[in-house]
Amino acid sequence: MPSRDKIFARIRHNLGRGPLDEAAAGALKARIEGHAPHTIPTRTDISRDKQIDLFQEKAEALAATVARVPSLAEVPEAVRDYLAAHNLPTRIKMSPDTALDGLPFDKTPMLEVSRGAASPEDEVSLTPAFTGIAETGTLCMASGPETPSTLNFLPENHVVVIRKSQITGTLEDSWAQLRAKFGAGNLPRTVNFISGPSRTGDIEQTLIMGAHGPRRLHILIVDDEK
């Protein structure tokens, strides 16, 4: 018997419950596979343009910075301007995701771009997002060989590229897209939900930025819905 089944069997035994009968097992399976959403906040029941505005508003309220760019071709210059404005290093560790393959960094020769998982010495990362959630201003990041999670957490400065078409209304919408892309039972090893830069107030209720990850989060929203 697999370890998981042993654990569940022990729990049922300690609760005084035997194996599920066929009807109960069927009902449980239908509930799990149905993915019925819970209460959906009405603030996301708005037009697409307003959903994008809401995502930006919520993200900025969480101390992220947001800029809009008209196309992917403008991303390198937007990254350069952001780094210059904050006097940040021009060495960037970029995700090997194919979504970023076409970025014309030849326009910005002052930027030194390498690709792969982040190392402790990397100070700036550039990654795509899987989705953005307008409800809370949250980024959904799906891990994989082309999207290593180290890029989300090791560098102190995280720049994220997200297309307008990737911004969903709710958390439930984001999970639905994950299941649609990866298939039932085949989700990524890690799904990270990122709401603003890392922070903590555990020590004397003093807010410290960058305690468990990046101290800066900059989001570039690319307009692909023209």
For residue range 93-122, list pLDDT tens digits in order: 999 999 999 999 999 999 999 999 999 999
Helix (H, G, I), strand (E, B) or coil at 117: coil
> Residue 193: enclosing H or E segment and its boundaries?
strand 191-194
Please give the backbone phi and psi of residue 121, each rounded to the nearest 5 degrees, phi first: -80, -10
State residue 183's pLDDT score: 87
Q: Can you tell me the distance from the alpha carbon of 128 to that of 179, in angstroms, rounded to the nearest whole number? A: 18
Q: Can you tell me the distance from the alpha carbon of 134 to that of 39, in angstroms, rounded to the nearest whole number? A: 16
Nearest to 127 by CA among 226, 224, 212, 217: 217
In the CATH hierarchy, which fold is given to the domain comprising 46-222? Rossmann fold (3.40.50)
> Residue 142: enclosing H or E segment and its boundaries?
strand 138-142
- Residue 94 and residue 147 in contact, taking contact as beta carbons nearer than 8 Å: no
Read off the pLDDT of residues 144-164 as tens digits, 9 standing for 90 and up: 999 999 999 999 999 999 999
Question: pLDDT tens, position by position, for the chain (226 residues)?
Answer: 778 888 988 898 898 887 778 888 888 888 877 787 778 888 889 999 999 999 999 999 999 999 999 999 999 999 999 999 999 999 999 999 999 999 999 999 999 999 999 999 999 999 999 999 999 999 999 999 999 999 999 999 999 999 999 999 999 999 999 999 998 778 899 999 999 987 776 666 666 766 677 999 999 999 998 7
Where, residue-wise, is CATH 3.40.50.10420 in the chain? 46-222
State residue 210's pLDDT score: 63
